[in-house]
Amino acid sequence: MSANKAYFKAVLFDLDGTLLDTAPDFTTATNILLAENDLPQVKEEEIKSLISDGSAGIVCDVFNIDSSDSLFKKKRSDLLALYSKHLTEKTLPFKGIEKLLRMLGEHNVPWGIVTNKPEFYTTAILDELQLKPNPAVVICPDHVKRTKPDPEPILLACKILGVKVEDTVFIGDHIRDIQAGAGAGVSTIAAAYGYINKRENTSSWQANFTANRSEDLLELIFYQN
């Protein structure tokens, strides 16, 4: 009888657009803010293409301004305040992720999160979702001097987990994730199912593997023995 075995001794995920589908709650917050400013609503698909650039990217796009604009700081602050009130109304793991996490737990493969999302929002979301098993490490910008695409956050996660970089895989839906992983020396999986900007081509990122669907991660991380 065949059994599943993991290719890796640790699995690290980006958060937004890779582990969790957070776009619906970002869309809610953005549309409330737009309504308050008498501006047209945006669709979730548009927000998905902006999330990888964070709240700054969303604000710049929907208000057609850049970060040097006098309105930028206020609008960004307003958006984050609204988002903090709607963090987990619709946010869920992508399809197949919960099964993957269960299998990692069953095979004693630790998993963690390496995100550019601030700790305040990350912790609040994880506390609400109660993923099982819990992540063994969560690295946010608050914990490092340099964020992705710098390899520092991934190297820190591996150090905390006590695993070698060559035994670790990092999964992300932005080129900065793949650059950070490559710089750290871990294997990489491009989450092509995630929040990919329309101008991006994931095949040009030079990831070790590509997951076109979130369900594909299972067979990329486990094999039949």
- Reported residue count of the chain is 225
Q: Is the dihedral of CA 217, 218, 219, 221 positive or negative?
A: positive
Give the Cα-Cα-Cα angle 154, 115, 5 (nearest 5 degrees). Answer: 60
Q: Is 14 a catalytic residue?
A: yes
**How many Å apart are CA 47 and CA 52, to the nearest integer?**
9
Contact 40, 189 (CB under 8 A): no
What interhelical angle do 72-85 and 23-36 show, nearest 10?
130
Contact residues for 212 (Cβ-Cβ < 8 A; gap 6+): 192, 193
Which of 14, 21, 78, 177 is flagged as catalytic?
Answer: 14
Please list the active-site residues. Answer: 14, 16
